[in-house]
Amino acid sequence: MILLGPSGCGKSTLLRMVAGLEDPSVGDVFIGEQRVNDELPKLRDIAMVFQSYALYPHKTVRANIEFPLKVRGVPKAERAEQALHAAEILGLAEYMKRKPGQLSGGQRQRVALARAIVRKPAVFLMDEPLSNLDAKLRGDTRTELVDLHRRLDSTFIYVTHDQVEAMTMGSRVAVMNAGRLEQVGTPQEVYDRPASAFVAQFIGTPPMNVLPVGLLGTNDVQVGIRPEHLLLASEGRLSGNVYQVEHLGHEVLVHAESTAGRLVARVDPASDLPVVGDAVRFDAADHHLHRFDAHSGMRVS
């Protein structure tokens, strides 16, 4: 499960409530069948990976990974064995004697993961664990996390503001905005049938074009069109002037200023491309139009 939303939407707070670091003012937190509102974090069968990794700088990698077991009074030999096992899963076995300060960002991140894995919790809680990594490492670690999720076969709750992470990693995505849950669904559902104009514009790069109230619809709806569904058509219902053409290789983004505001269309590079300054017309098939209530922003039909 991915919690996705812009900064300050409450996704981290929600995660911290599940962890027991914060108390919900209303509502219940269930883990499995059990209501855990009044339970201490240690009784919730969870492990958390922090954005900063929260490793103990004075402890070795081994001691860091063993710490949750030590707290639980697991005997020394067993502790060492389980820590080594967790370290092996993440390729850390050769770094066990180092301190976190002697590791790279990616390695530290793995230590934090190993420390979570070693507890064999029912739920893993991850608060933007990849946001301190560089782009390349982030991509690799993303794949590894998906693999890890499959192997461990337990629940991950994963907070991110990065829609690419959400779309590629999530079995389900919960999109949040301003403290409210906007939509829960598979990444495909969230993309194909966004429950609100907010979700529609938050997910997808470039974001969905949302037209002013009334255009291509009745006076109480806003119509949204994904850039890949907005077609160049000489008889199209929307007109505008091209002000930017972005060549991305496998696709071309055509940006136009129109009566409907700024529009973006994703175009096949093999087609007949307009140039900056051209007057163009756009259209889209009716079944590709998303309709949202003009006031609430919620999806209609």
Partner 1 sequence: MKRKLRDLPPALLMLVPSLGLLAVWTIYPLVRAVDYGHKACDISVRNCRDVGWDRYWTVFQSKEFQDALLVSLKLALMTVPVGLVLGIGLAVLADKQLKGIGIFRTVFSSTVATSVAVASLVWFVLLQPQVGVLADLLSGWIPKLKNPGLLNDSSTALPAVALSSIWASLGFTFIIIMAGLQSVPRDLYESAFVDGAGSFRRFTNVTLPMLTPSILFVTVVLTTRALQAYGEIALLTGGGPQDTKATTTIPYLIYGNNSLVHNDIGIKSASAVLLFLLCLTFAAVQFRGFGKRVHYGN
Binding region for partner 1 (CB under 8 A): 19-21, 40-42, 46-48, 50-52, 54-59, 67-68, 71-72, 99-101, 115, 119
CB of 285 to partner 1, least distance (A): 50
Query: Of 57 and 249, which has the nearer Cβ to partner 1?
Result: 57
CB of 42 to partner 1, least distance (A): 3
Query: Of 116 and 238, which has the nearer Cβ to partner 1?
Result: 116
Could you tell me what percentage of the chain is helix, strand and coil, using 3-state DSSP and rounding each to the nearest 5? 35, 25, 40
Length, in residues, of the chain: 301
Query: Of 61 and 256, which has the nearer Cβ to partner 1?
Result: 61
CB of 87 to partner 1, least distance (A): 17
Residue 155 token pair: 């629940």
Query: Of 59 and 291, which has the nearer Cβ to partner 1?
Result: 59
Query: Of 69 and 232, which has the nearer Cβ to partner 1?
Result: 69
CA distance 254 to 243: 8
Sheet with 46-49, edge to edge strand ranges: 46-49, 123-127, 155-160, 2-4, 173-177, 180-185
CB of 75 to partner 1, least distance (A): 16
- For tokens 């409210």, name the residue: 180
Nearest to 183 by CA among 27, 31, 1, 18: 1
Residue 250 token pair: 């496998």
CB of 162 to partner 1, least distance (A): 20
CB of 140 to partner 1, least distance (A): 23
CB of 41 to partner 1, least distance (A): 4
Residue 11 CB-density burial (10 A; 0-12 exposed, 13-18 middle, 19+ buried) = buried
Query: Of 11 and 115, which has the nearer Cβ to partner 1?
Result: 115
Query: Residue 85's CB: how many other CB atoms inside 10 A?
Result: 14
Residue 284 CB-density burial (10 A; 0-12 exposed, 13-18 middle, 19+ buried) = buried
Query: Of 56 and 243, which has the nearer Cβ to partner 1?
Result: 56
Query: Of 75 and 101, which has the nearer Cβ to partner 1?
Result: 101
CB of 50 to partner 1, least distance (A): 5
Using H for helix, E for strand and C for coil, what is the string for 137-161?
HHHHHHHHHHHHHHHHCCEEEEEEC
Question: Are 56 and 68 contacting, i.e. CB atoms less than 8 angstroms apart?
Answer: no
CA distance 224 to 222: 7
